[in-house]
Amino acid sequence: MEKNLWRQGYEAVIGLDEAGRGALAGPVCAAALMIKRPTANFNDAHFFKILKLVRDSKKLTPKKREAIFQMIKKCPFIEYQYYFVSEKIIDRINISRATEEAMKKSLLKIISNKPKAKIMLLVDGNKKIPKLKFKQKAIIKGDDKIFSVAGASIIAKVKRDQRMKKIAQQFSRYQFEIHKGYPTKKHLALIKKYGLCPVHRKTYRPLKNYSVAL
């Protein structure tokens, strides 16, 4: 899809995706990954290697996600930004609005010095981001179809996993470094045993009958 958009005159394509929407604890993280339109004599082996490796982050092991992330960081034709929205804000405004906010903030960070560029946004899912001046398309399962969206999904997942490992150091008995806050059997068993901690999303249905542990 990116090639077709470049042929239509777009200077860059930005994929947007999130990680952590379905978790019971911790922030949601969104990432924006921008691919610049290549020059006529473009022949970057590093870029094409990334192109072959990038997949929906959920289909990659943590080790592979980290390796691809490191490759993306070194590619001159790719830019990225990410943004976290905390569990407290998620509880206050709901996860849909929090995800939109995270996507919008990551996007604004990446386009802050490109106010007049002709850019197309490709958003994972079935909803566009409201109140944006750029053209955009919402693509269901975009992280499984579109390179820029899949790349954004990898960045969001890697950065959120890193954040959850730091949170795990503060709340070690919940083992966030293992399940990253998702509703696994182990995580639910630990909640049942200890109650909630400050980073749990208190408004999520599975948690409404639990109190915060002292």
In a domain, 103, yes or no: yes
Model confidence pLDDT, tens digit, residues 64-81:
999 989 988 888 888 999
Number of domains into which the chain is organized: 1
Domain with 86 in it? 2-171
Amino acid at 208: K
Model's pTM, two decimal places? 0.90
- Which residue in the block uniquely carries the two structure tokens 């955009």? 136
70: in domain: yes
Q: For residue 207, is it within any domain?
A: no
| CB burial string 176-203: b at 16+ within 10 A, e below | beebbbbbeeebeebbeeeebbebbbbe
- Residue 160: CATH number of its domain: 3.30.420.10
Look up residue 84 and give its two tokens.
């976290």
Q: Is residue 163 part of a domain?
A: yes
Mean per-residue pLDDT over the chain, rounded: 89
Given a cut of 90, whether residue 145 has pLDDT beyond it is no
pLDDT of residue 118: 86
